[in-house]
Amino acid sequence: MNDRYSRQMLFKPIGSKGQAKIREKHVLILGVGALGTHTAEMLVRAGVGKITLIDRDYVEMSNLQRQHLFTEEDAQKKWPKAEAAKARLQKVNHEVEIAAIVGHADASLLESLLQGVDLLMDGTDNFEARFLLNDLAQKYRIPYLFGSCVGSFGMAFTIIPGVTPCLQCLLKKLPLQGQTCDTVGIIEPTVQMVTAHQGAEALKILSGNIEAVRKAYVSFDLWHNEYVSLKADALKDSQCSSCGYNATYPYLQEETGLKVAVLCGRDTVQIRPTATKHLSLDDLAKQWRSAGFMVGGNPFLVSVVVEGKRMVFFQDGRALIHGTNHVDQARKMYHSFIG
């Protein structure tokens, strides 16, 4: 018996059979921030077979208060979150196969990664990405663990395609507390509470204890001492566009128009080229440095400061323009640097 997992195997509902099942499973975690780092660490320690981590951002000092796995050095080096998490997790458990993807998760990227995935974990910070995960879960019949937190408020819900309501069904009927930007801040125990729910549900599903899955939607406020557990079965909508009889999966439809987005509460605009580019970061850094700009970076990104605003470019042509919420201004800056 592998001593590493002995305590988990002593837990009767899992046992050696459940442990063997966990070992065979592949979990995709979208978003490697507060929620994603907690659940990733839990799953890696639990001995899951493989995890795929996807995140578009890099580590900053303001992340360290609640995002496990990251260090001051990661923030100083602006290391991409997916890569920083992978490096740390691989030290925790070398037996787990870990794939790190630095990029914006749109429908086509995610669909290309779903082969063999047994579970989708929500580590995102926005509802657009969550509805995308929700549609993928329904279309490919993969369980999806929704989780969300802001301030001291959190929510969690387990979505089993064909069995439970989906996120669309659920959120159509419930007040969307917590669907705000991260401008109101967050305390770390909120993250722990959401990921405790997500983590327990993951262990149930991965170890083959599907009957133990929680049927209720859970929300809580740790500061105001409130905990709500709401039976959700009746919320399933047979006309739902994501999980109904004639589902169209609206969030998987090809995006049209410019891929420019103001990132909620971040004072940052993200720009993605309509067709993926392959930037030579070294060449760009050299070119900009010789033009007199302040340039920084690492193997995954290059940053340049212009008029007090920091622009960060990734290999695939995506950019984060910090210090602005103005889409037009950001677009102009983007084009003036990489055309």
Residue closer to Zn ion (CB basis): 29 or 160: 160
Give the separation between CA 78 and CA 31, rounded to whole angstroms. Answer: 16
Contact between 242 and Zn ion per CB under 5 A: yes
Binding to Zn ion (CB under 5 A) within 168-187 occurs at 168-169
Residue closer to Zn ion (CB basis): 152 or 242: 242
| Shortest separation between residue 242's beta carbon and Zn ion, angstroms | 5
| Shortest separation between residue 123's beta carbon and Zn ion, angstroms | 21
Give the separation between CA 305 and CA 294, rounded to whole angstroms. Answer: 6
Give the separation between CA 95 and CA 282, rounded to whole angstroms. Answer: 34
Among 145, 218, 243, 319, binds Zn ion (CB under 5 A): 243
Contact between 137 and Zn ion per CB under 5 A: no
Give the separation between CA 329 and CA 3, rounded to whole angstroms. Answer: 57
Give the residue at shortest CB distance from Zn ion: 240
Segment lying near Zn ion (by CB under 5 A), choices 31-39, 163-171, 215-223, 313-321: 163-171
> Sheet of 301-306: strands edge to edge?
259-263, 268-272, 319-322, 309-314, 301-306, 294-298
Helix ranges restricted to H, the chain: 6-10, 15-23, 34-46, 72-76, 81-92, 107-113, 127-140, 167-173, 188-206, 281-290, 327-338
| Shortest separation between residue 159's beta carbon and Zn ion, angstroms | 9
Binding to Zn ion (CB under 5 A) within 26-65 occurs at none
Cβ atoms of 336 and 319 closer than 8 Å: no
Residue closer to Zn ion (CB basis): 202 or 240: 240
**What number of chain residues touch Zn ion (CB under 5 A)?**
6
Residue closer to Zn ion (CB basis): 243 or 252: 243
Contact between 240 and Zn ion per CB under 5 A: yes
Cβ atoms of 36 and 29 closer than 8 Å: yes
Neighbours of 97 (CB within 10 A): 12
Residue closer to Zn ion (CB basis): 166 or 191: 166
| Shortest separation between residue 216's beta carbon and Zn ion, angstroms | 17
Residue closer to Zn ion (CB basis): 249 or 337: 249
Q: Which residues sit at the interface with Zn ion, rule CB under 5 A? A: 166, 168-169, 240, 242-243
